Amino acid sequence: MVLAGPWAIGQELVTEVKEMDAIATDRPDITESAQITPVGWFQYEGGYQFSQSQQTFGAQERRDRHQIEEVLRFGINTKFEVRAVINANTENITGAGILSPLRRTGIQPVTLGFKYNLLEETEFLPQTTWLSHASFPFMVAGDYVAQLQSNTVFHEQRLMLEKSLTDRFGIASNIGFSGGLNGSNGFIDAGMFSFAAGYDLGRDFGIYLEYFSEFTWGGNQLYTTPYIDGGFTKLLSNDLQLDVYAGVDLSTEFGSRLPTNGFFFGTGVSYRFPLAAYLKSL
């Protein structure tokens, strides 16, 4: 989602860097941007997040996670980009059913995928893009290896919508589902929904507020975990953005079937550069 503005809806491909719209990023919110990385450009989006979650049922498990997040994006043409997601975690898990604190460190299954733009924004229609991801159990490291011996490849699909309402204000939404492509997991056993609003504060500062919910199917039951989060972005240049954000779990307040307590916060940086032009010049 574009968070610092003006919002880069309807981005045009041009050869002169100075004529390009400001960088459009997927971070820091959950709502992925409907924008495509410019043709021939490489975009790096990385950051750190701390999260804490605690079950309020059963063993009362508490999980503290430190996560290094990285998203790598490359524009193939005006409608298509390829991408990779690499998350490295350190988790500390405690609870009534755990004799001693469990520490887990490693790289989660690497995710590869693409975005494809379906519709450009018009006066009445939002920018509309499809995202497809696949996470591979053999592309993993550390303590996560032993947990992924089933060799199940997981997929995620999202429809992303984004619309600027004024020169400074815009909204975006994602609707998605996920599951296993093989193994015992169902093809669709989880999903998500998000809605975010962003505002350009001027002086290259942006602000956003977001609601999102994660869904899981267990038997005939649908379990949801809702969250609210918000944050700020700052453009240091047309191609460089900083961010900071925080959010909280609302499942107890919303009366979810399996309520949890938790919060998260983080910060990050996003940068893009014309990789294809650089390689051509070598």
Show the CA angle centred on residue 158, arms to residues 153 and 161, nearest 5°.
165
Q: What is the mean pLDDT of residues 44-61?
A: 86
User: DSSP letters along 251-278, please?
Assistant: HHHHT-SS-EEEEEEEEEEEEEE-HHHH
3-state secondary structure of 19: helix
How far apart, in whole angstroms, are the C-alpha atoms of residue 7 and residue 13? 15
Contact 233, 248 (CB under 8 A): no
pLDDT of residue 16: 46
Strand partners, 247: 229, 264
Integer-rounded Cα Rg, in Å, for the chain is 19
Q: What is the mean pLDDT of residues 233-244?
A: 98
3-state secondary structure of 17: helix
- Distance set, CA 125 to CA 11, 239, 247 (Å): 15, 27, 30
Strand partners, 21: none
Q: What is the mean pLDDT of residues 78-98?
A: 90
- Retrieve residue 116's tokens: 């494809």
> How much is the pTM?
0.89
What's the pLDDT tens digit per position in 187-225? Answer: 888 999 999 999 999 999 999 999 999 999 877 888 999
Which amino acid is residue 174, in one-letter code? N
Residue with tokens 């290259």: 204
pLDDT of residue 96: 63
Phi, psi of 148 (to 5 degrees): -120, 40
Contact 156, 186 (CB under 8 A): no
* CATH 3.40.50.2000 holds for 17-281: no
